[in-house]
């Protein structure tokens, strides 16, 4: 494009670029700060000596995190719930979306309506709890794996993708050759839908990994707690130590030492808990913009 | 009914059955989803009945006696000490974050769209998407660490010679912390949806405008903004549909005994009444009420938008 910029346009450009640079720095700074604080001496952090760059580097925060059995167990649980939840989500969503994408499905509108209602009306917290209690799921890992795993929006997004991005002739040709729906689904649809599957898997995985609320409601066994719940207890328990001092279980000197370590642990823990998501992010990043675009096209 | 029409009818239903049987695999594909929605969505809808009952765990949902009068649980909520506070807090948080949260992504998208360097554009986009992947627990944990008495915000204030402020103790800024931490997390992500629309703005239109002497700012106002209006309206309608639904997850984490006056919202109250105080019927009634308000809002905004601007969800 030829550059037609007038003088005001140039001013506009500069202001725009500078503002965007500032926004980007503001967005990234908290993340950068957490990274630095997780390896800096907490004293430096708390006295304002660590603002932009790690100071008095120490790894004792990470050491403590990886020695905490609750954290390790939470990590293991979270991996399990995330893997299972994502698998279930895909295994239910994709076949349903394929069925709804087929023109030869009789009663397609009945099924669509049946699914659609769930987008606008839900029973709410307690009725859901009572239902799962009735079928014996409360206290097991299944609510954490299953609640929210399947949603109509994902079914619609994948259905739209199947219809708009996979040539109908391909399916017709296969059918004329005598291929069953199973075969069409596994041999044609799935291999051609990698972007949308990647996007949905990512979102499902991140959703499961980051969720604490479902686990808080349905689990009470410490051994089953996912990482976010362990994290919540450690990050939100500022008053915990003060109570111990009051009760004479800890003297003030110990408290200061322990507070210092705790502060460090918090930063290290944030990094450790967010790392898996940040690691897969660049791999999937090229897919998700595409996936969201597909979803935004009206069904 | 004539003989022939009866026959075509029979053969029609016969055809239908043939089609269903021939495609039995498709129904098998639908089965898991149907079972899932029955258990996780439809069964709880039946459980909503207890909003009109005096629920007794021993008697079950059906066996529990009806509330007397049937709307007693609803009036109980309005007469409770927390009704006014929770409604007020919910409305403040909802409207505040709705306004900020729908406008800023548009502004960001328009700004990024004006960048010519592809590399710089990519950097800004990817940087602003990252916070979306941070969990709520981590987000609130970061807010607590940053805004605490010796947190980095206070360190920076002191660096410039100011006095440290106990942000987390100040009820007056609870709403700001809630909304702007959400802005940090969601603005970049929210802007994605507008890039597709912006790429639809025709280059010819832009060039014609340039020849007519339009500045970049004028082109944004007269070409780019009209292009994204339909998307914006869709987002607006969907936002209205969950306006009253200030999620309990984040608020619950930000709550302390000191700030309940400004932090208790309907959904956190539903959680506490239901699962902490185990008043199942009252909790369900409050939840049902917000569900209806949301649905009414969605339908109203959708209707209004459909008549005024021709953009609607259906």
Q: What is the pLDDT of residues B220-277, one digit of tens each?
A: 988 899 989 988 988 888 888 777 788 889 999 999 888 999 999 999 999 999 999 9
Name the superfamily (CATH) of residues B72-309: MetI-like (1.10.3720.10)
Please, where are the H alpha helices in B42-173?
43-47, 60-63, 72-79, 83-113, 118-129, 136-147, 152-159
> pLDDT tens digits for B33-85?
999 999 999 999 999 999 999 998 888 888 888 988 889 999 999 999 899 99
Residues from chain A that touch B134, judged by Cβ atoms under 8 A, are 210, 274, 277
User: Is B36 near chain A, with CB under 8 Å?
Assistant: yes
B32 — pLDDT class (breaks 50, 70, 90): very high
The pLDDT of A153-163, averaged and rounded, is 88
Q: How many beta-carbon pairs under 8 angstroms link A with B?
A: 253
CATH of domain A68-236: 1.10.3720.10
CB B262 within 8 A of CB B211: no
Give the tokens for residue B193.
């949806």
A222-273, pLDDT tens digit by residue? 999 999 999 998 887 654 455 555 555 556 666 677 777 888 889 999 999 9
- Mean pLDDT is lowest, of A150-154, A165-169, A253-257, B279-283, for A253-257
What are the residue boundaries of the structural domains of chain A, listed by start? 68-236
Percentage of chain B with pLDDT > 70? 96
Provide, as residue numbers in chain B, all residues whose Cβ is less than 8 Å from the Cβ of A232: 137, 253
| pLDDT greater at residue A48 or residue B124 | B124
Give the nearest partner residue to B280 out of A12, A114, A126, using CB atoms: A126
- Interface residue B140 vs chain A (CB under 8 A): yes
Q: Does B61 touch chain A (CB under 8 A)?
A: yes
Q: Average model confidence (pLDDT) for chain B?
A: 89
Q: What is the mean pLDDT of chain A?
A: 86
Token digits for B117? Answer: 């360097």
| B208 in contact with chain A, both atoms CB, cutoff 8 A | no
Tens of pLDDT along B152-190?
Answer: 899 899 889 888 888 988 899 999 999 999 999 999 989
Q: Do B150 and A47 touch (CB under 8 A)?
A: yes
Average pLDDT over residues B196-204: 83
B44 touches chain A (CB under 8 A): yes
Which residue does chain B place closest to A231, by CA atoms? B137
Is the separation of the CB atoms in A204 and A90 below 8 Å? Answer: yes
Helix axes A7-37, B83-113, angle to 10 degrees: 120
B216: distance to nearest CA of chain A, Å? 6
The residues spanned by each domain of chain B are 72-309
Q: Are A34 and A267 in contact (CB under 8 A)?
A: yes
CB contact (8 A) between residue B193 and residue A296: yes
Inter-chain contact A13–B216, Cβ cutoff 8 Å? yes
């Amino acid at each position: 494009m030829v550059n037609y910029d007038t003088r005001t346009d140039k001013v506009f450009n500069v202001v725009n670029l500078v503002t965007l640079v500032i926004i980007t720095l503001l967005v990234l700074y908290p993340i950068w700060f957490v990274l630095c604080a997780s390896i800096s001496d907490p004293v430096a952090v708390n006295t304002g000596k660590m603002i932009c760059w790690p100071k008095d580097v120490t790894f004792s925060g990470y050491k403590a995190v990886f020695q905490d059995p609750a954290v390790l167990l939470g990590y293991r649980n979270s991996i399990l719930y995330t893997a299972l939840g994502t698998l279930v989500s895909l295994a239910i969503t994709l076949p349903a979306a394929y069925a709804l994408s087929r023109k030869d499905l009789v009663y397609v509108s009945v099924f669509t309506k049946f699914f659609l209602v769930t987008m606008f009306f839900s029973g709410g917290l307690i009725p859901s709890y009572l239902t799962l209690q009735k079928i014996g799921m409360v206290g097991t890992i299944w609510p954490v794996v299953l609640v929210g795993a399947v949603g109509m929006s994902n079914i619609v997004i994948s259905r739209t993708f199947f219809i708009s991005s996979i040539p109908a002739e391909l399916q017709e040709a296969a059918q004329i050759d005598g291929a069953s729906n199973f075969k069409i689904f596994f041999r044609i649809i799935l291999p051609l839908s990698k972007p949308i599957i990647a996007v949905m898997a990512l979102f499902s995985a991140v959703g499961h990994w980051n969720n604490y609320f479902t686990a808080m409601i349905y689990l009470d066994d410490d051994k089953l707690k996912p990482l976010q719940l362990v994290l919540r207890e450690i990050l939100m328990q500022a008053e915990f130590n003060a109570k111990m001092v009051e009760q004479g279980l800890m003297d003030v000197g110990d408290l200061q030492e322990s507070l210092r370590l705790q502060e460090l642990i918090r930063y290290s823990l944030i990094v450790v808990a967010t790392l898996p998501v940040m690691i897969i992010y660049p791999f999937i990043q090229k897919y998700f913009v595409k996936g969201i675009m597909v979803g935004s096209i009206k069904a | 009914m004539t003989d022939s029409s009866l026959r075509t009818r029979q053969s029609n239903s016969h055809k239908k059955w043939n089609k269903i049987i021939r495609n039995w695999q498709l129904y098998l594909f639908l089965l898991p989803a149907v079972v899932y929605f029955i258990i996780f969505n439809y069964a709880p809808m039946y459980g909503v009945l207890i909003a009109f009952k005096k629920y007794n765990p021993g008697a079950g949902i059906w066996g529990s006696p009806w509330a007397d009068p049937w709307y007693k649980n609803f009036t109980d909520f309005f007469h409770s000490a927390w009704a006014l506070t929770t409604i007020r807090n919910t409305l403040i948080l909802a409207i505040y974050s709705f306004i900020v949260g729908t406008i800023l992504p548009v502004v960001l998208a328009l700004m990024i769209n004006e960048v010519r360097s592809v590399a710089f554009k990519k950097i800004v986009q990817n940087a602003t998407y990252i916070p979306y992947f941070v969990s709520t627990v981590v987000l609130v944990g970061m807010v607590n660490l940053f805004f605490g008495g010796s947190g980095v915000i206070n360190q920076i204030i002191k660096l410039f010679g100011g006095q440290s402020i106990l942000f987390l103790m100040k009820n007056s800024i609870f709403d700001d912390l809630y909304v702007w931490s959400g802005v940090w997390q969601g603005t970049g992500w929210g802007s994605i949806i507008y890039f597709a629309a912006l790429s639809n703005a025709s280059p010819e239109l832009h060039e014609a405008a340039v020849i007519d002497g339009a500045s970049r700012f004028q082109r944004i106002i007269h070409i780019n903004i009209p292009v994204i209006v339909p998307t914006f309206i869709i987002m607006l309608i969907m936002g209205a549909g969950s306006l009253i639904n200030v999620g309990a997850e984040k608020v619950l984490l930000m709550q302390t005994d000191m700030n309940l006056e400004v932090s208790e919202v309907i959904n956190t109250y539903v959680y506490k009444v239901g699962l902490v105080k185990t008043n199942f019927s009252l909790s369900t009634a409050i939840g049902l009420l917000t569900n209806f308000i949301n649905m009414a809002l969605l339908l109203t905004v959708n209707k209004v938008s459909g008549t005024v601007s021709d953009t609607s969800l259906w």
